[in-house]
Amino acid sequence: MSAGRALRFSKMHGAGNDFVVLDLRGGRDAPGPALARRLADRHAGVGCDQLLTIEDSAFPDCLARYRIWNADGTPASQCGNGARCVAAWLRREGVAMSPRFRLDSPAGPVQAEALGAGRYAIDMGPPRLAPAAIPFRAEAEAVEYRLPLDGGEVAFGAVSMGNPHAVIEVADVAAAPVARLGPALQARPEFPEGVNVGFAQVLAPDRIRLRVFERGAGETLACGSGACAAVVALVRRGRLARHAFVELPGGTLEITWPADDASVVMAGPTAFVFEGELLLEQPE
């Protein structure tokens, strides 16, 4: 990105998980970590949990490619709320003429579907449960793992939805030590790429409350891949139905996991907040 250039963007959110969306189709340069941090800064930039770029895809059956940068400038491999926002952006721009279309994500192609009234469904693919695929260092795959942490022991499920998640069941999500245990578990060497840490409270056989401490962003108002991971982890423990609603601080997502070898489908809202320009005063 060159000095003095105005960079156009869309500000969006999905259930409160907010994004700056950049149109980089046509071979425009991708942002570096410094620009990603600047855009994400809520005081000196636009403000967001993640930066999303929409780019040309090399796959002929995908309408576009999207990439993800966390607020700290690090790349991310998947973002369910972000995928819905990318789908909504492409529909608004007239790129996605059909209600069903494929997107090229860092974790592989995903299927999107417009449901109406700003709601979209994303096929997030099957969960990855083998420790090496998460990645998580463990001797064998298990429904529940335990690690010493914060002077005690924490029990959690480990799932990859294209990015690593640890899911801790708690009695009261409002009182969960998210700010303490989240970064502590992220720092464990057993998670070589870090981990998104979810704190889930079962309300009913088909409903949970969830808070997520994300890699590179901290606690966010919603995490789509985290909602998928929480449902998978709790289904495996016999605590939740395969079709469930996940209440996050920013809104509710609907998650379906029909069978152990099936894809996880996430449905939820999207919203356009505003359009804007950022003047780049110096090279990034």
Catalytic residue numbers read 79, 223
On whether 242 is known to bind a ligand per the annotation, the reply is: no
Helix (H, G, I), strand (E, B) or coil at 142: coil
CA distance 258 to 220: 27
Tokens standing for residue 260: 């152990």
HSE-up of residue 156 (Cα within 13 Å, Cβ side):
28
On whether 81 is known to bind a ligand per the annotation, the reply is: yes
On whether 163 is known to bind a ligand per the annotation, the reply is: yes
On whether 215 is known to bind a ligand per the annotation, the reply is: yes
On whether 153 is known to bind a ligand per the annotation, the reply is: no
On whether 194 is known to bind a ligand per the annotation, the reply is: no
CA distance 85 to 83: 5
DSSP notation for 154-179: EEEEEEESSSEEEEEE-S-GGG--HH
On whether 57 is known to bind a ligand per the annotation, the reply is: no
On whether 144 is known to bind a ligand per the annotation, the reply is: no
- What's the sign of the alpha-carbon dihedral 208, 125, 158, 52? negative
CA distance 266 to 228: 7
On whether 225 is known to bind a ligand per the annotation, the reply is: yes
Which value, in Å, is the radius of gyration of the alpha carbons in the chain?
A: 18
> Which residues sit in the known binding site?
17, 50, 70, 80-81, 163, 196, 214-215, 224-225
> Which residues sit in the known binding site for substrate?
17, 50, 70, 80-81, 163, 196, 214-215, 224-225
